[in-house]
Amino acid sequence: MNIQYIIVIAIILGAFAYAGLQLRKRSRAFSLKKACGDDCGCNGGSKKLPS
Amino acid sequence: MDTNGHNSQITIALAGNPNAGKTTLFNSLTGLKQKVANYPGVTVERKEGPWTLNGKTANLIDLPGLYSLDATSLDEHIASDIIRGEQAGVQKPDAIVAVVDATNLERNLYLVMQMFEFGVPVVIALTMIDVFEKQKHEIDIEMLSARLKTPVVAVNAKSGRGRNQLAAKVQEVLHTTPVVPYEFNENAENAGPNGKIFSRYNFISEVVQDSVWHSDQKSHRLSDKIDRVLTHKFFGLVILVAILLVVFQTIFSWASLPMDLLEKGFGAISDFVRAEMPPGILTDLLADGIIAGVGGVVVFLPQILLLFLFISLLEDSGYMARAAFLLDKLMSRVGLHGKAFLPLISSFACAIPGIMATRTIESRRDRFATIMIAPFMSCSARLPVYTLMIGAFFGGQYVFGFISMGAVLMLAMYALGIIVAIVVAGILKRTVLKAPPPSFLMELPPYRLPNLRTVFQNMFTRALLFLKRAGTVILAISIILWALMYFPRSSQQSAVTGQPSAAIATGEVSSESTPLPESEQLKHSFAGKLGHVIEPVIQPLGFDWKIGVALIASFAAREVLVSTLSIIYNVGKDEGAESQTLIAAVRDAKTDDGKPAWTPLTALTLMVFFVLAMQCMSTVAIVRRETNSWSWPLFMIGYMTALAYLGAFLTYQGGKLLGFG
Residue B90: its pLDDT value, please? Answer: 76
Q: What is the mean pLDDT of chain B?
A: 83
Residue of A1, A19, A26 with shortest CB distance to B477: A19
Q: How close does chain B come to A24, measured CA to CA in Å?
A: 11
CA–CA distance, B553 with B25 (Å, rounded to integer): 42
CA–CA distance, B4 with B10 (Å, rounded to integer): 13
Query: Which residues does A49 contact at the CB level (< 8 Å), separation at least 6?
Result: A36, A37, A39, A40, B74, B77
Report the pLDDT averaged over residues B15-42.
Answer: 72
Report if residue A14 sits inside a domain.
yes
Note whether B407 and B249 are within 8 A (CB): yes
Residue B509: its pLDDT value, please? Answer: 47
> Do A45 and B46 lie within an 8 Å CB cutoff?
yes
ipTM of the complex: 0.72
CA–CA distance, B458 with B19 (Å, rounded to integer): 17
Residue B602: its pLDDT value, please? Answer: 96
CA–CA distance, B185 with B245 (Å, rounded to integer): 59
**Sheet arrangement for strand B122-127:** B47-53, B56-62, B10-16, B95-101, B122-127, B152-154
Residue B276: its pLDDT value, please? Answer: 92
Alpha-helical runs (H) found in B231-382:
235-276, 281-284, 292-298, 301-317, 319-333, 341-346, 351-356, 364-373
Residue B512, helix vs strand vs coil: coil
For an interface test with B, give the residue of A39, A43, A49 to mutate (most B CBs within 10 A): A39
Q: How close does chain B come to A4, measured CA to CA in Å?
A: 5
Per the structure, the complete domain to which residue A23 belongs is given by 1-28
A43 touches chain B (CB under 8 A): yes
A48 φψ region: left (φ > 0), alpha (ψ -120 to 50), beta (else): beta
Digit-coded pLDDT (tens) for B235-293:
998 999 999 899 988 988 898 899 889 989 998 999 899 899 998 899 999 998 999 88
Pairing, β B122-127 against β B95-101: parallel
Note whether B337 and B456 are within 8 A (CB): no
Q: How many CB atoms lie within 10 A of CB B581?
A: 19
Residue numbers of A between 6 and 35 with CB closer than 8 Å to B: 7-8, 11-12, 14-16, 18-19, 22, 26, 29-30, 32-33
DSSP B337: -
Give the residue among B111, B104, B136 at the shortest CA–CA distance from B13: B111
| Highest mean pLDDT pick, B194-208, B278-292, B451-465 | B278-292
Digit-coded pLDDT (tens) for B347-394:
888 888 888 878 777 778 888 999 999 999 998 889 999 999 999 999
pLDDT-derived band at A31 (thresholds 50, 70, 90) equals low
Interface residues of B toward A, Cβ cutoff 8 Å, are 45-47, 74, 77-78, 81, 86-89, 278, 280-283, 285, 356, 359, 364, 367, 472-473, 475-477, 479-480, 483, 506-508, 617-618, 620-622, 624-628
CA–CA distance, B46 with B27 (Å, rounded to integer): 13
Report if residue A44 sits inside a domain.
no
Count Cα neighbours of B549 within 13 Å in the Cβ-side half-sphere: 26
Digit-coded pLDDT (tens) for B468-508:
988 998 899 999 999 999 988 876 554 444 444 444 444 44
Report if residue A34 sits inside a domain.
no
Give the residue among B131, B477, B472 at the shortest CA–CA distance from B317: B131
> Do A1 and B506 lie within an 8 Å CB cutoff?
yes
Q: How close does chain A come to B507, measured CA to CA in Å?
A: 7
Residue of B87, B483, B618 with shortest CB distance to A12: B483
Note whether B84 and B90 are within 8 A (CB): no
Report chain A residues whose CB lies below 8 A from the CB of B477: 15, 19
Q: How close does chain A come to B243, measured CA to CA in Å?
A: 36
Q: Is B403 exposed, middle or buried (0-12, 13-18, 19+ CB in 10 A)?
A: middle
> Do B625 and A1 lie within an 8 Å CB cutoff?
no
Digit-coded pLDDT (tens) for B611-655:
999 988 888 888 888 888 889 999 999 999 999 999 999 999 999
Note whether B98 and B84 are within 8 A (CB): no
Helices (H) and strands (E) in chain B, counts: 30, 10
Domain count, chain A: 1
> Do B364 and A41 lie within an 8 Å CB cutoff?
no
Report if residue A2 sits inside a domain.
yes
Residue of A29, A33, A47 with shortest CB distance to B89: A47
Report chain B residues whose CB lies below 8 A from the CB of A5: 280-282, 506-508
